[in-house]
Every structure is written in C-alpha cells, then in structure tokens.
Amino acid sequence: MSSQNLLSSIANVSDDTEFYTPIPAGYKPGKTKYVGVFGTVMSGLGKGIFASSLAKVLKDKGLTVAPIKLEGYLNLDSGTLNPFRHGEVFVLDDTMECDMDLGTYERMLDQNMTRLNFSTSGQIFTAVLEKERRGGYLGRDVQMIPHVTGEVKNKLRQLAVATDADVIFIEIGGTVGDVENAYYIEALRQLAFEEGEKSTCWVALTYVMEPPALGEQKSKAAQLGIKQLLQCGIQPHIIACRAIHPVMAKAREKISLYSSVPLERVFSMHDCDSIYIVPEMIRDANLDKQVVNILGLESRTHPEMELTARDMWRDYLTRLKAGGEAITIGVAGKYTSVRDSYASVIKALEHCGTKLGAKVEIDWIEVTDITAANVSERLAHLQGLIVPGGFGTRGVEGKIACVEHARRTGLPYLGLCLGFQLAVIEYARNVCNMAGANSTEFDLECKHPVIDILPDQKQIEGLGGNMRLGGQDVILKPGTLAARLDNNTPEARLRFRHRYEVDPRFVSQLESGGLIFSGKAPDYPIMQVLELPQNVHPYFIATQAHPELTSRPLRPDPFFLGLVQAAMGLSNPPATKKSDAPIHA
C-alpha cells in the first residue's frame, strides 16, 4: 500500500477504529522526508550541532530544509527557565522563547525560525486537552497512543505544509530512556510506518568514552544506548559518535556490528575547534550523499549550487582557522559559570573576529565581585567590554561600575538589554547629576526612576504586563553611529526580550547631558539604542535589543562588528556590504 493510501486509511476519527492520525490540509504524502536525531548515553552531546550541520549540507545542495526541536519538559516555552539550568533563552522573531539549539539552527542555516520549529510536551498536551474539551475526539477515551502521538505527527506535518520542505529535521531533546521522551520516539516510529519506504532517516548520536586510566576508547556505553533505541522500534541508519579524539576503527566496527549500521555510516564527530567545521566533516565522510540516497532525493539536488555554497563556507573556515590579531573582550555578567548562558554572544564575537582577521578571546567577569574600588584593576587588560542581559538585582552595581569605567576610560563598550538600561542609569547618576537614579526593577522607591515599567506602553504594545518579545522595527537617527553601523539605513529589525524601558520623562534631561538616543520605536517614545558621540568616546553604544541573536557566520551583526573593530584600534565603523548585514526581516 502506498503512503498516501495508508495515511487515508488510518486518518479517520471514530469509535470504530484504533487509528488516529490527523493530516493537515495541503499535506502531500511522499513529498517531505524526515531525518530524526536521537541522543543516547547522556545529554549535551551536540544533537543540535549535528542536526543543523547535516541540514546545512543538504540545504547547500538546493534542498529546502526545516528543523524542529521537540523538548520533553512541560513548560509551554523556555522563557521561564533559569540560564543555570538550560543555557540561554533564544528568542525568535515571532516572539517565541525557545531552546538555545534554535539559535544554532538559525546561524548554521542562515534562516529565521518560527514557533513551528519548536515544541514542548507542554504544548503537545495543551493541544490534546483543548481538542478533547471541544469534542475533537468524538467521545473516545484520550490516550498517549494514538492521540498524543498523533498530535506529535500532526505538528511535524504542519511544519512540512508551512515550509514546503524537502526534509524536516527532528531533534528530540534529552536522551533515549528519558520517560518524558518515550512518546516522541513512539510517534517517530509510527511516522516511518505511515510515510513508507525512503521517507525517514534515523540518526543515533552516542558517546565513545576514553577513560584516561585505560588509555583506549570504550564503546560499551554507546552499544547499550543504541540498544535502548532499538528496543523502541527505531533502527538507526547512521550513528554519530561523539568523542574527544577521532573514533578509531576498532570502536566503530564494534558499534557497526552491534547496531546493524554499515561501517561507512558510523561517523566520528570528535571535538574540533569550532562547530562550523562539522558540516565539512560530514561532507568529507560522504554522510550527506548517504542521506540523499536513503531518502531518494537525488533528483532534487543541484550540484552547482553546492559548489558555490561550499566554496563560501570553506573560505569562512579558512579565515576562522587563520585567527589573527589577539584581542580580549570582557563579558561582565552574572551567569558566567555557565558559558551556554551567553552562547549567542560567544558566536557573534566569533563571527566578527573571523571577518576582521582577529582572534577574539573572552574574559568572563563575574560582576558580583566587581566594586568601584577594584574595577579599574579588573578591567585594565581589556580591549573591549560587553555588559549582556540579565534579570534580578544580583550583580547590578558591579555592572554599573563596569559601565562607568568603560565610559570614563574610552574602553569600547557594547551594552545589551540590561547593559543598555544600566548605561542609562550610570549616565543619569554620574553625568546628569541625578543622584539615586535607578530602575524600579531594583528599587521601587528610587528618587529618579529613569528605567521603569510604563503602564501606558504596556497597553499600547498589548503585552499584558509581561515581556516585550521578538522582532521589532527600530527607527535609526540619521548621522549617528547606529545608523552608520547599519549602512545608513533608516530602519533596522532587532529582537527584544525585556520588561523595563527608559521612562520618557527623563529623555530630554539625559539628551541635554550629552547622551544620544539614536534608535527608537517607530510610533512610541520607546528608546531602543543609545550612544555617545565619537568625539567623546571611540565606541560607546548600547541597545535594548539582543543583536547577538541575529548574527550569522557570513553576515556578522553590526553592533558586535563595530565593537571588535574598535577593540582592534580601528577608528571608523565597519564598512559592511548589504549582503554582510544580519537579517532584519
């Protein structure tokens, strides 16, 4: 039976059948293929890195790709997760707060994701329960199989319809064996059955240990992890082996034998200097050709497109490996013990260093240890400073001390979100003579609440008293540094995640003191970018937005590019071509 006939026969909803597979309008059985990536042994091995890298090499061949991350936790999104628990919260243009792997997908694929590219168990169960309340199951007792698994498959097919993708990449968070992931894995087993031959390709990401006391690689944990996947009814087509060093033939042969996966599909994904090397590792191992063959996609590929895309990527890697002048940028934050909290900041600096021929080294500055007395000594060795976003009062005064040091000494400075707000507070206190200036987030009774939650703005923006999220247009003041950084365009598209704003009552006083608000919301008095004149400071700029979220390897973000250039001692803002600018749409 063809996949189209099979789907038609099992998509009915009634109490006379155990089948339940909703098919979204416009879905074309056989058109879209599916690649699933499962983790074994332990989490944090780099499923998102592998999935995005494989997706990139298929996109380079002219195929349309769309990833989706399936998370097992019950949160509706990642917005309430502590960075210490789960790394940074990555915000999409359409306001979705999601897992940091979505940032990896956006950067690697150079395409914007939407809420369709991210799902949690909370979303799945909410959709099922809402449908049950509406009578959508026609009186059936609602069960994990087929109804919850049916909702997972429906979400995947909705993404296929919305993107018209040739290949959907499915990354399941966590590892095989986690109880919260069992129904996701079962849904993909069913998907393979329903879609038919050459419709799915399953990848098991595993870990090959190398205990120092033994001096050799051990594959037993990998074998047992893959066994768990086999017990779920998933026969992997490819095994990707994470390891510190290249996985030797002996370990790969054992894994091949144990998993019934051909040796040429047991891939060594060992540690490398940058995640951007992984696509070339995949190509060198011919895994991309293996996947195209498994899915029967040969007729849809365009070799000439791949040659051009690969040449561009190789050029980037050549510049990345070449390094260059070493500069040190300080990142003054309070989550510095967990680097994943600032994953996008790290990558944005890497993109800019590669473009400008600099080796950017990051000095992580724990701001809870910074005071007015030690800030000069602590920051003396830096060529640039970033104060990133954050929530809560801890470390705020240490960050303000860092901002003041950068402003007074001419140290190139970039403030992000909270770093923008603290630059306003510092300037109000120390230049505009507003003693006690602060944010109502930190002091509700402060004398000069230059940063505040503004009820009228919340009503205008329709935010329900919550976060201002996602992509927003920003009007740039002509002739300012912000405008020049963005190629003198009148308007930029930036991403936001914040609750507090500059109180408009203080804007004129701050501007009279010399502060320039060079970017604002189009229709409301919401300040989005500030700067100091370049005859006063070589590079002092901050934005309420998170420009690190839109930086891409081949098109670095202008705010970060300007910081790195200033840190290198180059006086003029970077003359980026339009094709180099980050996506603002």
Q: How confident is the model at residue 458 (pLDDT cuts 50, 70, 90)?
A: low
In this structure, are 79 and 165 located in the same domain?
yes
- In tens, the pLDDT along 146-155 reads 999 999 999 9
Distance separating the N- and C-terminal Cα atoms of the chain: 44
Amino acid at position 412, single letter: P
Q: How many residues make up the chain in this entry? A: 585
What is the C-alpha separation between 458 and 317, in angstroms, rounded?
Answer: 45
Shared-domain flag, residues 99 and 138: yes
Instruction: For Cα atoms 62, 66, 70, give the angle at the middle one, nearest 5 degrees.
Output: 155
What type of residue is 87?
G
Is the per-residue pLDDT at 392 higher than 90?
no
CATH number, domain of 545, equals 3.40.50.880
Whether residue 202 sits in one domain with residue 105 = yes
Q: Which residues are catalytic?
A: 417, 546, 548
The confidence score (pLDDT) of residue 169 equals 98
Which 3 state secondary structure label does DSSP give 150?
helix
State pLDDT tens for residues 67-98: 999 999 999 999 888 777 778 899 999 999 99
Whole-prediction pTM: 0.92
CATH number for 184: 3.40.50.300
Is residue 585 included in any domain, yes or no? no
- 572 pLDDT above the threshold of 70: no
366-385 mean pLDDT = 94
pLDDT in tens, 422-451: 999 999 999 999 999 999 999 999 999 999
Q: Which tokens is 496 given?
A: 């936001």
Buried b (16+ CB within 10 A) or exposed e, 379-416: beebbbbbbbbbeeeebbbbbbbbbbbbbeeebbbbbb
Q: Determine the Cα–Cα distance for residues 428 and 434; give it in Å rounded to an integer.
A: 5
**What pLDDT, on the 0 to 100 scale, is given for residue 1?**
56
pLDDT at 389: 87
On whether both 301 and 390 belong to a single domain, the answer is: no
pLDDT tens by residue, 8-45: 666 655 556 778 889 999 999 999 999 999 999 998 89
Q: Is residue 146 reached through a cis peptide bond, with omega within 30 degrees of 0 on the bond before it?
A: yes
Domain carrying residue 102: 33-315
Q: What is the pLDDT of residues 293-346, one digit of tens each?
A: 999 999 999 999 999 999 999 999 999 999 888 999 999 987 766 677 899 999
- Of 278, 294, 315, the residue at which a domain comes to its end is 315
Which two structure tokens, joined as six digits, stand for 233? 């009814």
- Starting at the edge strand found earlier in the chain, the sheet holding 238-243 runs 118-120, 65-71, 167-172, 33-39, 200-207, 238-243, 266-270
Shared domain for 224 and 292, answered yes or no, is: yes
Q: In terms of domains, do 278 and 382 share one?
A: no
pLDDT for res 175: 94
Tally of domains in the chain: 2
Q: Is residue 12 part of a domain?
A: no
- Residue 74 phi/psi, 5-degree rounding, is -90, -5
SS3 169: strand
Q: Identify whether residues 100 and 211 lie together within a single domain.
A: yes
6/124: higher pLDDT: 124
pLDDT of residue 582: 40
pLDDT at residue 540, rounded to an integer: 98
Domain-located, residue 20:
no
The amino acid that residue 30 corresponds to is: G
Rounded mean pLDDT, 400-408: 97
The secondary structure element, H or E, covering residue 359 is strand 358-366
- Asked if residue 456 is part of any domain, the answer here is yes
Among 172, 190, 192, 171, residue whose Cα is nearest residue 181:
172
Q: Determine which of 203-217, 239-253, 348-362, 459-473 has the lowest per-residue pLDDT on average.
A: 459-473
Domain shared by 160 and 302, yes or no: yes
Q: Same structural domain for residues 264 and 359?
A: no
Residue 243 pairs in a beta bridge with 270
pLDDT of residue 140: 87
The strand pairing partners of 364, in sequence order, are 331
- Report, as an integer, the average pLDDT of 409-414: 97
10 falls within a domain: no
Sequence-ordered list of residues with C-beta below 8 angstroms from that of 548, at least 6 positions apart, any chain: 344, 345, 347, 348, 388, 416, 557, 560
Report yes or no on 11 lying in a domain. no
- Cβ neighbour number for residue 85 with a 10 Å cutoff: 9
More reliable by pLDDT, 80 or 203: 203
Average pLDDT, the chain: 91
Short-list 251, 31, 70, CA closest to 153 = 70
Tokens (6 digits) for 220:
């037993």
Q: Are 557 and 575 in a shared domain?
A: yes
From 252, 287, 315, the end of a domain falls on 315
Strand duo 97-98 + 65-71: pairing? unpaired
Q: Is 127 a domain residue? A: yes
Per the domain annotation, does 60 fall within a domain? yes
Question: How far apart, in whole angstroms, are the C-alpha atoms of residue 358 and residue 119?
Answer: 38
Residue 581 has pLDDT above 70, yes or no: no
460-487 mean pLDDT: 82
The pLDDT assigned to 323 comes to 83
Q: Are residues 206 and 254 in the same domain?
A: yes
pLDDT of residue 463: 42
- Of the three residues 275, 292, 315, the one that is the final residue of a domain is 315
For residues 404 and 261, state if they share a domain. Answer: no
CA distance linking residue 29 with residue 11, whole number of Å: 13
